[in-house]
Amino acid sequence: MMPQIYASVRLLFEGDARRRAFAIMGAVQGVAGAASQVIGGYLIAMDVGDLGWRLVFLVNLPVALYALVAGRWMIVETKEALSSRLDIGGAALGASALSLFLFPLMVGREHHWPWWAIVGPFMSLPLFVYFAWYEIQLARKGGVPVIDISLFTRNGFTLGIITAFLFFSTISSFSLSLTIFLQVGLGRSALEAGAIFVPSTVAFFAGSLLSESVAKRLGHWAVFLGMLVYAIGLLFSVTVGFDGGNDTLMLSISLILNGLGQGIVIPLFLNFILSTVSNGEAGMASGAYSTMQTAGAAFGIAIVGNIFFSVLDSIGLMPGSALTSPEQFGYAFAVATIYNLIAVILSFVLFAWLQSTLSRQASPLHSSG
């Protein structure tokens, strides 16, 4: 669904209106994030019928029902006049390559890294190459591929997608490691852990709404500002982890900075990436962006999860052990969060490179004009 939403906003709005639309979309995501954490924690605390964590999926039902009813009248049609056949083959190849790359990283540690967990990611490389060849051939025959590989011949789009992959690898993975730290290490209930995330999502809401005005004042520097705020928040989180989670105020400040930075970056960066393509490419570019966003999140969860539990393994502890302590889980959380911090710094560097590349590409146009 998300590529359709991104593409629709890209096609229905222009200039400042589009930036404002993405900012509002980000703010709505912030509200949804706060609501889902608290409602999900409350449903787990209710534990109706001993269903436990399974009850959190009830959150989706009223939202889906509303979307089905309201969408019938409110969604504006943006499809092409001429329909095209779905690229089922390309979708299957792309999904297979991603699965072969990500699945071994996710489950390899708990299976003590068998041979297939080592070989799988390497085997995904020729499959990715074949996927790209398949998509190129389909486009040459007049078909509509899942992803037009020609998009990646543009330095701006390629650097932007890689930056998105790295940046989004930090968000869900940080939530995962912090949740484990709060609930297993510190013994907080699901509802208490969900409530701790609320300041972050409120800050995300504020950052999204502020992103348009910040961009008007700072231009592309607004994205740098958001990444810097997010990085400082992660640095504070690392400090909290090494301290064993004792400083609640510092943890709250770190989460506020995390949410604020993300709220500024995400709407502006999405608008930036989709503004580099034409209207006819908006859907495909949105699909590529959404895929890298999801793949980045899965990659980050795999990496951070492996780091977190490997640290616990190294000190001979397992979740649920009577010997666990907040300090030990805090140490694992801090070490795992260092990955998030490094990934955000790399995103900062790549975005600077992207800006430099686009400036060099634009300068001959200005000089010739």
The tally of domains found in the chain comes to 2
In a domain, 13, yes or no: yes
Q: Are residues 139 and 181 in the same domain?
A: no
Q: Residue 131's pLDDT band (boundaries 50, 70, 90)?
A: very high
Tokens of 215: 């961009």
Question: What are the distances in angstroms from CA 241 to CA 164, 235, 262, 294, 331?
Answer: 26, 10, 21, 27, 6
Task: Specify if 122 maps to a domain.
Answer: yes
Q: Which of 7-16, 80-89, 168-177 is the least confident region? A: 80-89
Mean pLDDT check: name the lowest of 92-96, 111-115, 348-352: 111-115
Is 172 inside a domain boundary?
yes
pLDDT at residue 189, as a whole number: 85
- What pLDDT does residue 366 have? 47
Instruction: Report the predicted TM-score, pTM, of the whole model to 2 decimal places.
Output: 0.82
The two structure tokens encoding residue 11: 């096609």
- Within a domain: 50: yes
- Domain containing residue 33: 2-75+160-368
| Mean pLDDT of the chain, nearest integer | 85
DSSP assigned state of 184: I
Q: What CATH number corresponds to the domain at position 237?
A: 1.20.1250.20
**Same domain membership, residue 343 and residue 288:** yes
**In a shared domain, residues 203 and 235:** yes
Contact 145, 135 (CB under 8 A): yes
Residues 214 and 272 occupy one common structural domain: yes
Do 36 and 136 share a domain, yes or no? Answer: no
Tens-digit pLDDT profile for residues 214-250: 988 888 889 999 999 999 999 999 999 999 888 889 9
Q: Which residues contact 301 (CB under 8 A, 6 or more apart)?
A: 106, 172, 173, 176
pLDDT given for residue 368 in this prediction: 44
Pair (95, 66) in one structural domain: no
Whether 80 is in a domain gets the answer: no
Higher-pLDDT residue of 11 and 91 is: 91
- Whether residue 155 lies inside any domain: the answer is no
Which burial class, exposed, middle or buried, applies to 367 when counting CB atoms under 10 A from its CB (0-12, 13-18, 19+)? exposed
The predicted pLDDT at position 364 comes to 55
Residue 321 confidence (pLDDT): 55
Residue 82 lies inside a defined structural domain of this protein: no
Are residues 351 and 288 both part of a single domain? Answer: yes
Same domain, yes or no, for 323 and 364?
yes
**CB-neighbour burial class of residue 26 (10 A; exposed 0-12, middle 13-18, buried 19+):** buried
Q: Are residues 101 and 227 in the same domain?
A: no
Looking at the fold, whether 278 and 198 belong to one and the same domain comes out as: yes
pLDDT given for residue 81 in this prediction:
57
Nearest of 162, 160, 140, 165 to residue 150 by alpha carbon: 140
